[in-house]
Each structure stands twice: as C-alpha cells, then as structure tokens.
Amino acid sequence: MVNKKKIYKGVLGLLAVLVVLSVINATQFARVGAAYSYTVSNMGADVHFITCDGNPVDNTKPLLVSSANASYSISLGTWCPGTNKTFTAAFGIVNEEDYPITLVGVNVEGTGIVNMHIFAHSNKGKTCTIDKIVTDDASKRETNADAANQIAALWNGTLGASAKASGTWVLGAGDDNGATYDDNPAAGNNYNATWQGAGINAWKYDKVDDWGMSAGQTATNGTSDYVWIEICLQIPPGTVSSETAYTGTISFMFEASTEL
C-alpha cells in the first residue's frame, strides 16, 4: 500500500523548496537593475515641453519635471536586464516661434545611452518601435503606413557611433502662448495646456481644446506646432550586473524651416 503521508510530506517539502527558491530569485532580481535619469534641454529655438506620461519612480509626478523652472529632467525608472520599457509620450515639444522650425536631431551624452531609442512621432498612444519586442498588439504600433512621414527616428543607441539617426520633424508656427498648442495653427485649432507648479514647473497636456472637446492625441508633421517624443529602453539580458545609476543629457536641436 502506498503511504500517502510520505507522499504528502514529499510534495510539501518540494513546495517549500520552490517557495524558498522563488523568494531568493525575487530578492536577487530586485537588487539587480539600473536607474536611468537624464537632463533634457533644447537648442536653437524658442520651444517648451509639455508633460504627459507618468513617472515610474514617483507616481505623483509626470515623467518630465523642471527644477525651479530652469532645467528639465526625466527619471525613466530602474530596470533589470532583459527589460523593454517604452514611454510613447515621454513628453511633447511645442514651438513658440512665429514661424515653422525643424527638429533636426538629438544629441545624447552620458551612460546607458546604448540602450536608448528616441523618436518624434504623431500618435501619443502608439509605439514607434514597430517590431514585437515592445508589444504583440499591432494596433498599438505606429508605422509610417498610418500616415506618411509621421515617425522621425532621432536616436538609436544600438548603432554605437552612428546612434544619431537622420529623422527630422517640422513644427508649424507657434503663438508664443505656453497655455496652448495647435494641431493646425492656420485654422486656429488650439488645444489647452495646464500649468503644473512647484516640483514640476511645466505645462501639462490635458486633452481639451478651446471648445471643451477631447483632442490633441495626434500631431501632423509640417502642420502642428507640437510633436510627441517617445523614449524606449531596450536592455539586453546580462547588461547590468549590479545596481547602476545611468545619467546624461538629451539635447534637441532645431533650425528655422524658412528664410527669415
């Protein structure tokens, strides 16, 4: 006759070992990771940033914040090897010049930047990373098939010395009003932004236009005076062996799109 008590004890002993191993693995996993924090600036134009995606480190704040309304910074969180994390609307950039300008590129310096991908794009709710490394849901992946020239690749860290991509984005003429951003400035389609005070010091995307309707989801290259910036971290397995703080600067560069 089979001794059921011995079997039960054996099963319970196995479960106990599995639980212990799970706890050990969870503890090790929590300790191994890298924190990505960068300062963000603009060069060559009168632009400002609007906040959108939330902060993975502090859920009371957006991803992008400003210190004393002087400089911007982003904390992308602490992530372990093999992690892919995408912020489809890390923030928006709004042109306040009274003429169109072109976002001609981005300069990224510091540590951890080989794992970073940066895009300017149209739809704040979709990812620019069109392969399945980010999402298996094709409806959540933005491609140029959605609308011509609606993705501009700005930085691809995996390319090493060639990480600076060749994508550009034209922002329409602005209105020198930080409280608005326009899908079509010529038509006067103003969307509202809300000022966030101490500890954030930036304008917030609030999805509402001048008529109280939800809008501002998408930007149009060459027409809208704003654009959404996606930041994607793709961290290969084994990249980080201990807790590391990656820091650096992300600078956006602009040129006038017309003769002045």
Per-residue confidence (pLDDT) for residue 175, from 0 to 100 = 83
> Token pair 């009003």 is at which residue?
177
User: Can you tell me the mean pLDDT for 235-245?
Assistant: 73
Assign residue 186 a region (left: φ > 0; alpha: ψ between -120 and 50; beta: otherwise).
alpha
Q: What does pLDDT average to over the chain?
A: 77
pLDDT band for position 229 (cuts 50, 70, 90)? very high
Q: What is the pTM of this model?
A: 0.80
How far from the centroid of its chain's Cα atoms is residue 148's Cα? 22
Write out the DSSP string of 78-109: EE-TT-EEEEEEEEEEEE-SSS-EEEEEEEEE
- Non-local CB neighbours of 8 within 8 Å, separated by 6+ positions: none
Domain boundaries, the chain: 1-31, 33-256
> What are the pLDDT digits (tens) for 106-158?
999 999 898 899 999 988 888 886 555 566 666 677 765 455 568 898 998 87
pLDDT band for position 247 (cuts 50, 70, 90)? very high
What radius of gyration, in Å, describes the C-alpha atoms of the chain? 22
| Count of Cβ atoms closer than 10 Å to residue 53 Cβ | 22
User: Can you tell me the mean pLDDT for 14-26?
Assistant: 39
User: Can you tell me the mean pLDDT for 22-46?
Assistant: 65
- Partners of residue 15 on adjacent β-strands: none
Per-residue confidence (pLDDT) for residue 189, from 0 to 100 = 65
Per-residue confidence (pLDDT) for residue 4, from 0 to 100 = 52
Per-residue confidence (pLDDT) for residue 147, from 0 to 100 = 56
Per-residue confidence (pLDDT) for residue 216, from 0 to 100 = 57
Per-residue confidence (pLDDT) for residue 129, from 0 to 100 = 67
CA 198/CA 185 separation, integer angstroms:
30
